[in-house]
A and B are shown apart, each in its own frame.
Chain A
Amino acid sequence: MSKHDGHASQPILSIENLSLKFGGIDALSNVSFSVQPGSITALIGPNGAGKTSMFNCISGFYKPFAGDIRFQGNSIRQTPPPLRAKLGLARSFQNIALFRGMTVLDNIKLGRHSHIENNLFHGLLYRGRARREEQALSAEIDREIISLLDIAHIRDEPVANLPYGLRKRVELARALAMRPKILLLDEPVAGMNREETEEIARFILKVREEWGVTVLMVEHDMGMVMDISDHVVVLSFGKLIAAGRPQEIQSNPDVISAYLGADAAGQLKRADAGEVVQ
């Protein structure tokens, strides 16, 4: 049994009785779950279950109506998004959100923005130092991130020219440049074929292995979710309906009926055999 299943260690992220309302609609109601450090946790559920809303609460775009979000034990409910990024929460978006006019390297560098000195006067006073810092940053990105994600060949290309799969990878690279403690990935393999999916899955595992980063991801690709996650949290209509290890989730009758409908059990079996369930 891995350490992720135990309750001994303090969770890196815990969601406590979180509720979010849009007008009269309960986007999230009273959801609680926690993410163990070093784990890969998947957040799944049918469309409109509130997964992306949950992500937006965690990264600070939505203000929850009630409840709390704790990161390493401290409440971050009132913390604005840029400060959350600085604390070590990095995210990718469901629809790729890269800076189109810029090169891959510039995009990745922007991930480090909150960690470098950008004051104009500082930049003018210590021009040499600023340039050295900049070069050191590029070198570090080359060494650690670009090689890890295998994107050296497109390093200086504008992202607008890249195909979809590579853009997703660049977005992951930018999130990594933030030196996150926890990586929030919103559908990292949406729209990818089996090979690309496996490649991203490998990257995620590698990042966890080499950097010790905790991963929380929203994903519809059940094959990948069951393959690489340690812990699965299931939302349906804004409510938490199950949480546990992948095997437990697969056989949970609530999940099967709520999430996948009548014919679900068979589909899950097939997913287990390595097929994609949409």
Chain B
Amino acid sequence: MIDWVYMAEIALSGLGSAALLAMTGVAFVLIYKATRVVNLAIGETLMLGAYLFFGFTSGMELPVWLAIPLVLLCGGLFGAVIERVMIRPMLGSSALSVFMVTIGLGSILVGAVELIWGLEPHRLVSFISEKPVFLGPAYVSPKTAVAFAVSVAMIAVFLAVFRFWSGSLALRATATDPGAAYSCGISVPKVYSLSWVVACMIATGAGILVGAIGGLSSSMGVFGLTVLSVVIMGGLDSILGVLLAALVVGLVEAYAGALLGGEYKMISTFTLLMAMLLVRPHGLLGSAEIDRL
């Protein structure tokens, strides 16, 4: 006999993690779209956000309403600095070299966090009400509900800006042909910088939510690997594809975790990724590059 309420509860928690995956995935795609950099440090950026929040609230004992904008501010600043000193000098070198630089950046972040906050896991101050949320008979953890609402709102704002702001045309132009965009009067360095700033703000913001749900540890950047699979499944440069893939991965992970056991979460994700790559190498909605011979 299947317990439908239980199944619905799993789906709801899956939706919560799907929203977080989608939010971080959007940050990843933004950087990839604008600068063609595969940023493997996105998971560590998220970790940095969580630890900064921990530092502001538990260490400096700032109120939560102040700590959140501070984390986002630091995230944006971090993005700007990294883009300017690590990524821009690599402009024009092979994609693989830049990719390696982002792996290095990830290691540096893990090391820095361990040096400052130590190896042992931490818990964030609880700032989300503990009152359980019920959707009909199904129970949703309040943290998951908040994470879901915030992520969805953030993605909606992002999509609206992307759709209606004339400046986003400049981003798309830069993405397709930086040289032509540059000579059309678009300040390409500004576009690069802006995309890193916004993406890192989103990632650190997601870090606060992920940290609030699962606690902090220096290995929480592994979340970035799941995000990477989501992004590859979605097609690297398609925001809609990432949203769809996040939904699928979030739900599959939730069911695998609940029905088979926690250790099957990652296995199911990567099995899905492999199957996907066999069937559609360009991802769900990715653009296939067609070369004319």
> Are A81 and B167 CB-contacts (below 8 A) given A110-B173, A120-B161?
no
- In the bound assembly, the distance between CA atoms of A85 and B184 in angstroms comes to 6
Binds A, one of B44-52, B115-123, B175-183: B175-183
Residues of A with C-beta under 8 A to B183: 59-61, 81, 85, 90-91
Residues of B with C-beta under 8 A to A125: none
Q: Dominant SS at the B interface? A: helix
Total of A-B residue pairs, C-beta within 8 Å: 79
Contact between B180 and A120 (Cβ–Cβ < 8 Å)?
no
Binds B, one of A93-101, A227-235, A248-256: A93-101
In the complex formed, the residue of B with least CB distance to A91 is B183
* Interface size counted on chain A using CB atoms at 8 A: 33
- In the bound assembly, the distance between CA atoms of A178 and B181 in angstroms comes to 12
Q: Which of B164, B185, B187 has the most CB of A within 10 A?
A: B185
In the complex, what's the smallest C-beta–C-beta distance from A128 to chain B, in angstroms?
13
Residues of A with C-beta under 8 A to B180: 93, 97-99
- In the bound assembly, the distance between CA atoms of A130 and B177 in angstroms comes to 26
In the complex, what's the smallest C-beta–C-beta distance from A115 to chain B, in angstroms?
8
- In the bound assembly, the distance between CA atoms of A242 and B217 in angstroms comes to 71
- In the bound assembly, the distance between CA atoms of A114 and B161 in angstroms comes to 20
Contact between A120 and B172 (Cβ–Cβ < 8 Å)?
no
In the complex formed, the residue of B with least CB distance to A83 is B185
Interface string of A110-138 (1 = CB under 8 A from B): 11011110111001000000100010000
Residues of B with C-beta under 8 A to A168: none
A110 in complex: contacting residue of B161, B184, B188, CB < 8 Å: B184
Residues of B with C-beta under 8 A to A97: 177, 179-180
Which positions 192-223 of chain A face chain B at CB distance < 8 Å?
none
B101 touches A (CB below 8 Å): no
Q: Which of B165, B184, B186 has the most CB of A within 10 A?
A: B184
Contact between A120 and B167 (Cβ–Cβ < 8 Å)?
yes
Contact between B167 and A123 (Cβ–Cβ < 8 Å)?
yes
In the complex, what's the smallest C-beta–C-beta distance from B191 to chain A, in angstroms?
10
Residues of B with C-beta under 8 A to A119: 167
B170 touches A (CB below 8 Å): yes
In the complex formed, the residue of A with least CB distance to B176 is A99
B184 in complex: contacting residue of A80, A118, A134, A174, CB < 8 Å: A174
Residues of B with C-beta under 8 A to A82: 182, 185-188
In the complex, what's the smallest C-beta–C-beta distance from B24 to chain A, in angstroms?
23
Residues of B with C-beta under 8 A to A100: 176-177
Ordered nearest first, which 3 A-B pairs have the shortest CB separation? A114-B185, A85-B185, A97-B180
List 21 A–B pairs whose Cβ atoms lie within 8 Å, in order of A's numbering.
A59-B183, A61-B183, A81-B182, A82-B186, A85-B185, A97-B179, A99-B177, A101-B176, A101-B287, A102-B169, A102-B176, A109-B169, A111-B184, A114-B184, A116-B166, A118-B165, A118-B167, A123-B165, A123-B166, A123-B167, A174-B184
